[in-house]
Structure 1
Amino acid sequence: MKAIEKVINERLEEVNKLLNISNKQLTKYSSTPDIHIQTSVTNGREQFYCFDGTTHTRKYLKSCEIIKYAGIIQRDYDLLINYKLQTIQKKLSRISRDIREANLEQITGIYEKMASAKKAFITPIIESDEEFIARWYERNQGGQNTYPIEGNIFTARGEHVRSKSEKILADLFEKNNIPYVYEPMLKLKNGHVVSPDFALLNTRKRKTIYWEHLGLIDQEEYAVKNLLKLQRYEDSGIVLGENLFISMESTKQGMNTKIVEMYIKNMFL
C-alpha cells in the first residue's frame, strides 16, 4: 500500500509543479479580450473564425490575419491545460487521502493499543511488526560463516566483520532501523550452502533481501568466482535488483556510499 501511496504522491508532486507553472502563465492574460479562435474544415481546408464572447458573433479570418491571434490561441490552450491540471490534482489528492485512510496499519493498531492483559487472549489477524521481526531473527541467524575473521573491525551493534566497508554497510542498516543479520546461512536450490554478507528485512513488504559486498571486483579470479555465485542466486530465485543487492569496490576505487544510501531509501524506507 505504501508503494502505491508513494507513486500517487510523486505524481501529485509532479502535477503541482506543472500547475504552478500554468498559474504563472495565466497571469499574462488578465487584460486579453474575451475572444476565441474557432476552426472548421470545409472542402478539406481548415478555416479560422474569431468568436467574440461579448457580442456572441464571429467573423471569418483570412490566412494573413491568423498570425495576429497566435497569443489568443496560446491563451486558450493554457486555460484548457490549467483546468485539466486542477481536475487531475483534485483526483490525485482524493486518492492519496483514501489510501491513507485505507491503510492496514489501522488494523494492526487496534491490537497494539489494547491492554497487555487482553493481548494474552488474542490472536491478531495481522501479526505486528515487532512479532514478525522477532520471528524473522529466529529464522535468520547471523554469524554462520565458519571461515575465520581477521582484524578488529566491529559494527555499532558489536558484530565482528571482515572489512571497513561491511562495517559501513551494517551501520547504515542500523541507522535506518533495518533489521539485518551478518553472514547468515542460505541453502540454494542446488543444495549448495552459502553465507551472504547480509540478510535484511523489508518490514513494510515483509520480504527478505540479501546483500553482497564485492570488495575486490578488479581482481579477475575474484570477479569470476562471484559472477558464478550471482548466477547460482538467480537459479534459486534470488534476483539482482529484486531480492538481491550488491555494493562493490576495487583496490583503486572505494565503495560509493551515496549509491548504497539510494538503494536503502528506494528499497526499505
Structure 2
Amino acid sequence: MRGDIVRSKSEVIIADRLFKAGIPYRYEVTFPMKFEDLKNVYPDFQILKPSTKEVFFWEHLGMMDDPKYANSQLKKISGYARKGYIVGKNLILTFESKERPLDIVCVDKLIEAVLL
C-alpha cells in the first residue's frame, strides 16, 4: 500500500492493486469538464499505462443503490465520452451496491487485461 487517503474501502482496494501491479496513478486529480452543470470532475484515479504512456481514468461507482447518485454518475460518464474518454478504450468503470460489493478478482482482471 502506498498510503493514499481515499474515500472508500473499495478505492483502497483499487489503489492497493494498482500499486501492487506497478501501475503509476494519481488520486482525484482535477479534470476540467465543461458539460451540462459539470465544471470540474475529480476522477478517482488517473492512470498512466506503462507500456504506451496513455492516460486512463478509473471511476469506481460505489453507491449504485442511490438513484440520485446513479443519475449524477451517468451525467459524468457522458461528459467523459464527450472529452474522448470512452469505456473500454481509456476509461475503466467499476460498480457496487450494498448487495454486490466490489470484487477484488474483477479489479485484478481489469488491471491485467487493460493496463498491463
Q: TM-score, normalised by structure 2?
A: 0.92
- Matched with 2:91 is 244
Which 4+ stretches in 1 moved above 2 angstroms?
A: 188-192
Q: State the Cα distance separating 1:246 from its structure 2 match.
A: 0.8
Residue 93 of structure 2 aligns with an amino acid whose one-letter code is I
- What are the equivalent positions in structure 2 for 1:184-203 lying under 5 Å apart? 184-188=29-33, 190=35, 192-203=39-50
- Matched with 1:255 is 102
Q: State the Cα distance separating 1:202 from its structure 2 match.
A: 0.4
Q: State the Cα distance separating 1:189 from its structure 2 match.
A: 5.1
Q: State the Cα distance separating 1:192 from its structure 2 match.
A: 2.4
- What are the equivalent positions in structure 2 for 1:34-183 lying under 5 Å apart? 156-183=1-28
For 1:185 and 1:166, the matched residues in 2 are separated by 17
| CA-to-aligned-CA distance 1:69-100 (integer Å, 9 cap, x gap) | xxxxxxxxxxxxxxxxxxxxxxxxxxxxxxxx
| CA-to-aligned-CA distance 1:15-57 (integer Å, 9 cap, x gap) | xxxxxxxxxxxxxxxxxxxxxxxxxxxxxxxxxxxxxxxxxxx
For 1:162 and 1:189, the matched residues in 2 are separated by 24
| CA-to-aligned-CA distance 1:96-134 (integer Å, 9 cap, x gap) | xxxxxxxxxxxxxxxxxxxxxxxxxxxxxxxxxxxxxxx
Structure 1 stretches of 5 or more lacking a match?
Answer: 1-155
Larger Rg: 1
- Matched with 2:76 is 229
Between 1 and 2, higher relative CO (CA 8 Å, sep ≥ 6) is seen in: 2
For 2:113 and 2:5, the matched residues in 1 are separated by 28
Residue identity over aligned pairs, in percent, reads: 38
The DSSP-based 3-state class of the residue aligned with 1:188 is strand
RMSD over aligned CA atoms reads: 1.3
Q: TM-score, normalised by structure 1?
A: 0.41
For 1:226 and 1:254, the matched residues in 2 are separated by 18
The DSSP-based 3-state class of the residue aligned with 1:192 is strand
- Does structure 1 conserve the Cα–Cα contact (< 8 Å) formed by 2:34 and 2:40? no
Q: State the Cα distance separating 1:268 from its structure 2 match.
A: 1.7
Between structures 1 and 2, the one with greater strand share: 2
Q: State the Cα distance separating 1:158 from its structure 2 match.
A: 1.6
For 1:241 and 1:231, the matched residues in 2 are separated by 14
- Matched with 2:55 is 208
- Does structure 2 conserve the Cα–Cα contact (< 8 Å) formed by 1:183 and 1:197? yes
Residue 253 of structure 1 aligns with an amino acid whose one-letter code is R
| CA-to-aligned-CA distance 1:210-256 (integer Å, 9 cap, x gap) | 00001111211111110011001101111111110011110111102
The DSSP-based 3-state class of the residue aligned with 1:187 is strand
Structure 2 stretches of 5 or more lacking a match?
Answer: none
The DSSP-based 3-state class of the residue aligned with 1:203 is coil
- Matched with 1:7 is none
